Structures are given as structure tokens and as C-alpha cells.
Structure 1
Amino acid sequence: MVMKEISYNHFFIDKIKKYFSLNSFNKKNKKKVCVAVSGGLDSMVLINLLLDLPEIEPEVAHCNFLLRDEESNKDEFFIRNFCKKKNIKCHIKKFDTLYFSKKYKVSIQMSARKLRYDWFLELLEKYSYEYMVLGHHFDDSIETFFMNVFRGTGIKGLLGIPKKNRKFIRPLSDFNKKEILHYAKIRNIKWRVDRTNQEFKYLRNKIRLVLSRFYSFSFHKGLKKTIDFLHDENLLIEKKIEEIRKKITIEKKDNPFFWKIECKRIKKLKPLSFYLFKLFSPYGFNDINSMKRLIDAQSGKQILSKIYRIIKNRNDWVLISHKLLLENKNKIYIIHDINIKEMFLPVDIKFFLNPKKEKIKNMFFMDFDKIQFPLLLRTWRKGDFFYPLKRKGKKKLSKYYKEQKFSILEKEHIWLLINKNGYIILILGNCLDNRFKVTENTKKILGIKI
């Protein structure tokens, strides 16, 4: 019996070592990681396993969601006491999960997930951990598999919980609950029991309780084989999607995010609905019919997700973040005088007093005495008007932009130079206001080069 227990212990340790060796861990290069420890069976087995690996220096992060009254505080005390005995650093964070759930109108489970992962990302950045280590195992992947089946999903939703996702790793991914429980017993590992895991009101718990009736070695083996096949098939699909992404892309950059796509090539994709979902759902676009209509829509039409928007720009799509629009729309730059060398501005502007016209190209000239500082630099707003140079009367900026056939993107990224009295002096790079033009009475000329 003792020999079996020793062998089982080696089986666990060897499998964990193999996992970490595949992720660039070795004895010569000790890595500092943070382990998410709830106090339950899985996380307590995980932290004990990592303490047995000399190549890893673990620290602990514990979330107290304040959802189970005194039980939550007992979990926290249990973790603090464990870390003190093992002489490892422990990070504890209390969350008002119920308040967060009510404020943002999301479920308690989703609130806890959001709070937990946001904090984990903060810890990764603050302490420069190699990884955040989580205690998910294969049974968790099975539950996720069936949860996504009930909700409706593609192949990606059937892959379970990934073994590694950026800085988050899950070394117990290949172990099932029965194996983890057996290991905890032979190693005499103590853990806390969360009774809410038995409550039937949560979908995951319902699936867990139903699946427990069908538990068998062959059941787990068959599902694991299925998920492994799905992983391979998903890799092939992702490779094909990447090829298509390159094929339809005219231009793409990351900072700020900008993706220009050729509509003609999108239209030729078959099956269109499948490719639209795979290409654009990562940006929050799940309404396939709206995307289909946008392909043939007139220029200027757009669809929105929470973070991004797709704009029909002539014969192309442009996918950008809302953030840039909001920054431009709300940002005002104040220019106190013509000496702007030390200023950070969104466009490159240079002022010249009494310039020589023949020496400087692409410059706008105006009557310096009509300029009143401080000047403002901003984008257009509803109701803006100006007096275009060499034209009669005033014109609304919205109408002028339409006449110039500016796209919706160009409208949002053209900057205006505004006089202290609120008059538009110049549409940068485009047109001067007639009220500021150089006349025979001008004494000083101000040149502005964009």
C-alpha cells in the first residue's frame, strides 16, 4: 500500500514537472509564480505540488468575495495560516461582489470572475511574476464543454479551459477530480469545502451534479479524446482564418488599432456567415446579418460593438476602437503663443511670423493682428460654421465636409484652429477662414505650416 502511494506521488510530481518543463521552467532558472488559492481541494493540491518543485518559487493570491458570511473569512484565515507555516508570501484581496453585481447588472459568478482576473492581471504586472497559476482540472473542462453546448457554440467553445492562456497556466489540466482527491488523501493535504458548489441554482453546479452520475474511466477517456481531436481541428481552422485575414486586409496596425479591409474580398468568402463570425467576433461583432448588410451599404454607415466599430468607407471597411474617437472628440489643446516647441499636439504645426512665401511650401498665411491668443485646437462639433476663403458667406462645417467628400473617419480626425473669440481660423491642411486672410492692410503675416 505504501509503495502504491509513493508511486502515485511520483506519478503526480513527474506529470507536473513535465508540464513546467514544456513551459520553459528548469532548475537552472528558478521562476517566481503566483498561485490562485481559494482554500478548496484543487488549489490546495496545486500549491502543495509547487512547493515540492525546487525550480519554482510560489507566492499565493487569495480572493475573499464576501459572499458566504463567516465561511469566507474562515477561508481567508485558513490561507493566511497555511502561508505563514510554509513561509510564503500571501496576497489577500476583499471584494464587494454583491455591490459590483448590482452596479453593472451582471451575475454574481460573472462579477466574481471579472474582479478576480482584473486583480490577477494587476499582480502579474506589479510583481513581475512569470505566470499566474490556476487550479482548473480536466473535470472543469468537461463542465465548460457542456455549458457551452447548452448555450450554443462553435468548436472553440467545446475546447474546455485552455492549459495555457497568455500569462495564465493550469498545470492540473490533465488530471481529473478523482485523481486529485486521491492525491490529497495520500499526502494528507487539508482543504476547505465550499458548500455553494452543491447549490443547484448555478448552471455549472447542475452539470457537475448530473455528470457525477455518469462518472467512469471510459467516460472521461472518451471525452478527453474528443476534446483533443477538437483542439487539432481548431488549429487547422485558425490557420485558415489567418490566411483569410491576410487576404482581405489592405492595412493593419496596432497603436492606435486600425484595420482596413477590402469589401469585395469579404463578399467572396464562402460560407460567408462562418467567416464573418470567426474574423469579427473577437472584436465583439456577433450580429451576422448587420455585417452582411454593411458590405453593400453606402459609405459612412457603421456598426458598433462595446469597444470597436466597423465603418463602411467607400469600398472598404475600417475597424477601429471607440477610444480614439472619444479622445479626439473630447480633447482640446490650448496654444498660448506661437512658440509651441515644448507642446505635445496631435498634429505637427509650426508657426512663422512674417515668412517668405517663396521659401516655404504648404503653408497657410493669415493676418497676425486678427489672431487672438490663446488659440484652441479641437475637432468639429455640431453647429460649427466658418467663412471659406474665396467664397461668399458662411457655411456649416458639416455641409462643407460633405461637399469635400470627406469620409466619416476624415471628418473625425481633421483638427480645427480656433481663435480666442470662438471663430474658426483654419481647417488644418484644408481651408482658411476668409475673416483671417491677408489683405493690403495687413501689417504682420502669420504663416502656419502643417
Structure 2
Amino acid sequence: MNEISYNLLFLDKIKKYFSLVGIRKKVCVAVSGGLDSMVLINLLLQIPEIEPEVAHCNFSLRDEESNKDEIFIKNFCFEQNIICHVKKFDTLNFSKKWKFSIQMTARKLRYDWFEELLKKNLYEYIVLGHHFDDSIETFFINIFRGTGIKGLLGIPKINGRFIRPLSDFTKKEILHYARIKNIKWRLDTSNHDFKYLRNKIRSNLSMFDSCSFRNGLKKTINFLHDENFLIKKKIEEVRQKITIEKKYYPFFWKMNCKKIRELQPLSFYLFKLFSPYGFNDVNSMIRFINAQSGKQLFSKLYRIIKNGTNWILVSHQLLSINQNKIYVISNLKVTNKMFLPVDIKFFYNPKKETHKNMLIIDFEKIQFPLLLRTWRKGDFFYPFKMKGKKKISKYYKEKKFSLLEKEHTWLLINGNKHIILVIGNRLDDRFKVTEDTKKILGIKVKI
């Protein structure tokens, strides 16, 4: 194939890819200075509809070599009259601080910065130079580490706002293209450092450098994509089957524990359903199915609460919203001007015809400031129309409150620390209206 035909082959595939993902104009290309990214940026510069900018990461890992890569990219962008964004990272110190490997640290730094660029410059996509050989290497890396089907799919062609137009091209094809187009690139000596697993695998795969081997792997990965699609579809069906209620803000997912127990294979479904929320210990989840009501299972950002015959999965944020928070209500009008977790309004001496739409209490027994908070150990009150005092904890137990309901039920506290009202439930008998009441306070609450 001559130079013109080979160039057209590459350009045609890239244009079709861009048409598929719907790119109109503004993208940012991640350019390291190596072969793959230099071929990628040269291809994009041949498409008039695209206005690419360049992002280059200097990880400061190869001393002068890293700095020369940066200078090479800056000079290239200057010659092509395109905008170049450069970020220099102290990767080694971040690696020690985060206790990550060098490669994992570099990856996090790189993608965090790319996300910043996406938001700041309103790019449609960040364009990356990964090719099919990278997917093969990832396939084997994940086999060595242990993985499910998802880990065998290689590197995705499209992942949110990150795209990889060279995904179907091999390293050999990209190298051939660079040579016939006389594209210059920088060599990364760390690619020959065998302390990195990827480099070891790359070296061993070179012994199987044949079309039949690569075509066979490509077919395998395509089959795995189809199987993964079917698995995801089945997981979604199961998710709907076990769900009683689900809300996304704040996150709340209530499930039928009996239906979870019936899933087979149980370990597989538990992992697929709950690992996205940080629950990776399948054995703990299996034991949790038979846990007592009120028990909890924690991940870094979420918790599962056993509530009778149900599981409730919520974010820790939902707990921190209320935990130990106290809202001070200094007068009758202040509630109209401050943010409160419940919509509460006070009415001084309301008309008798409105009494049925509100809770009424003896105003002369009220002492400001009032407080709004959740229950604490030792709290008690005198429930209206009930004999004697009762601990709030016992009252909640008798009412069969779930752990979540206990955490999100608010108490209105008098200035003398007596509980006036368990909001949404019951008034304290000490504040009821009697024949001796001269002034009335009306309370309207929307929870």
C-alpha cells in the first residue's frame, strides 16, 4: 500500500470514529511525545473540522529526559500554532504521600488534571493515544492479577469524556504510518524497565507477534464485550427485582433481603451489585443476610443497614447531615430566614378555625431559644395522652423505628432542655393546651 492510500486508510477510520462519538470541534489531545500520541495529533491536524489543543504531563521521573520531552512538545505546538497545556508533577513525593505505586500515582495525577481541563476549557473530549496492543497488554496484566470479564475487555474505546481513536490499530501499523509520514517522536527509556509488569508482558508478547495471534485475541475480546453486555443487562434485571425503593439524592436504596437470599450464584450477584459501592468482601455480605435488625455493614463511602427483612443502602453523607447538628431558633420569625432540616413555622395566638391544621401548645411554657436536634442517649419526654415519662429510645423501639428513622427524626427542645415535640410523632404532655392556657402557640411542620 502506497503512502497516500495508507494515510487515507488511517484518516478514514479516524473520521468515522469521530462521527460515531459525535465530535464537532473542540478537543484536547494528551500528547506524551511518544510514537502513538505524535501520530494521533498529526492525524487530527489533517481534519479541518477539528480544532485540537494539546495537554502534556511532565511527571519528573526521568530527569533531563522528561524536560526534553516537554520542550519537544512545546516546540511542536508552536510550529503548528496550537495551544499547549503543560503540567509538571512531583510524582515521587505524591507516590510516598498517597502510598501508591509510581504508575498508579502518575495515572491519578494525569486523569485528575484532565478532568480539570475538561471543566475549565469546555472540551468535548480528551483524546488519548491507546492502541490495540495496549488492550492486549491490559488483558494479560489483569489475568495475572485476577479478574472477571470486565478486566478482560482491554482499554475501552470510549469511557465517558475520554476517547481512544487508535484503539483498532496495532503498534506495527502506527509505526509504519509514522515512518511513511516522517513523523518525529521521542523514545521513553522507561518502556524498557522490567520492574514494570506491563513492560515484562510487552516483551514476552513480542514472541507471538503474528496476525493470527492478534486477530484471535481481537475476536476473543469482542466476544467478551458481548457477554459483558448480557451480564450487565441481567444485573439490571436483578437490581430491579430486589429493589423496593431507590432515590438518588440523598442516595437511598431499600431492598428485599429475602429476594437477595434467593439469588444464585449468590456470591456473583452480591459482588456485581454492591462492589460499585465499595462492598467487596462477599463473605461478610453473605453473613449479613442473616444479621439481626439494626446491624450495619460499612464501606468507605456507604453503609448497609439491616432493617427487619430489608437492606437499606445509604451514603455516609446522609448520616453526617444530622449527626450532632443543632439548630437554634431564637424567636418566632427566625424560621422564615434560616435553613432548617424540616419546614417549621410558628403562629402566635392563631384563630380557632385554623387549630385543626396545626399543633397547638401553651405559649407561656415556651422558653427561647428553642433547639432542633436528633435524639441522644438519655433523652426522655412525657408522651401526650400516655402515663408517665418515657425514654426516647424506648418510644422509638415501641414504634418500630428503623435505625435510619431514628437518625432522621427531629426533636424540638425547649430553652429549659425539656423536649416539646418529637416532630412528626408526638407532643410532650407538659406543653399541651389546658383550661388555664392564656396564650397559644401554633406549630406547622412539613417534613
Question: Same fold judged by TM-score > 0.5?
Answer: yes
Asked if 1:349 corresponds to 2:344, the answer is yes
By how many angstroms is 1:436 displaced? 4.1
Q: Distance in 2 between matches of 1:33 and 1:276?
A: 39
Residue number in structure 1 paired with 2:45? 51
- Corresponding residue number in structure 2 for 1:11: 9
Structure-2 change in CA distance of 1:75 and 1:371 (3 Å): farther
User: Which structure 1 residue ranges, 5 or more long, are not aligned?
Assistant: none
380 and 80 in structure 1: CA distance in 2 versus 1, 3 angstrom threshold: farther
Q: Could you tell me whether the CA contact under 8 Å between 1:386 and 1:433 is conserved in 2?
A: no
In structure 2, do the counterparts of structure 1 residues 109 and 327 end up closer, same or farther at CA, with 3 Å as the change threshold? farther
1:289 to 264, 283, 292: 283
Q: Does 1:379 align with 2:367?
A: no
1:298 to 273, 292, 302: 292
- Secondary structure of residue in 2 paired with 1:200: coil
SS at match of 1:429: coil
Shift of 1:433: 3.9
1-side partners of 2:356 and 2:148: how far apart? 57
Secondary structure class of the residue paired with 1:349? strand
Q: What is the distance in 2 between the residues matched to 1:372 and 1:75?
A: 71
| Residue 393 (structure 1) shift | 6.3
- Residue 101 (structure 2) pairs with residue 107 (structure 1): yes
The answer (yes or no) to whether the contact 2:39–2:183 under 8 Å persists in 1 is yes
* Alignment correspondent of 1:163: 157
For residues 323 and 117 of structure 1, the distance between their equivalents in structure 2, rounded to whole angstroms, comes to 25
| Aligned equivalent of 2:402 | 407
Kindly tell me: are residues 393 and 86 of structure 1, through their superposed partners in 2, closer, same or farther at Cα, counting changes over 3 Å? farther
Give the secondary structure class of the aligned counterpart of 2:321: helix
Instruction: Flag structure 2 segments of 5+ consecutive residues without an equivalent.
Output: none
Structure 2 counterpart of 1:249, from 218, 243, 248: 243
Q: Distance in 1 between matches of 2:254 and 2:421?
A: 29
**Distance in 1 between the 2:25 and 2:258 partners?**
50
Contact 1:388 1:431 in 2 (8 A): no
The answer for the alignment partner of 2:207 in structure 1 is 213
Q: Say if 1:107 and 1:335 are closer, same or farther in 2 by CA, change over 3 A.
A: farther
Q: 1:173 aligns with which of 138, 144, 167?
A: 167
Q: Which sits farther off after the overlay, 166-175 or 108-117?
A: 108-117
Structure 1 residues 19 and 425, CA gap change in structure 2 (3 angstroms): same
SS in 2 for 1:328: coil
> What is the match of residue 417 of structure 1?
412
Q: Which moved more, 1:307-316 or 1:390-399?
A: 390-399
CA 1:222 to 1:337, structure 2 compared with 1: closer, same or farther past 3 Å? Answer: same
- The SS at the match of 1:63 is strand
In structure 1, the residue matched to 2:20 is: 22
Question: How much is the aligned-residue C-alpha RMSD, in angstroms?
Answer: 2.2
Which digits, 9 at most, give the CA deviation of each residue in 1:12-31, with x for residues without a partner?
Answer: 11111111111124xxxx32
| SS, match of residue 153 in structure 1 | coil
Matches within 5 A, 1:105-254: 105-254=99-248
1:265 corresponds in structure 2 to 259
On the 8 A contact 1:385/1:394 being kept in 2, the answer is no
Give aligned pairs, total.
Answer: 443
Equivalent position to 2:332, from 332, 335, 338: 338
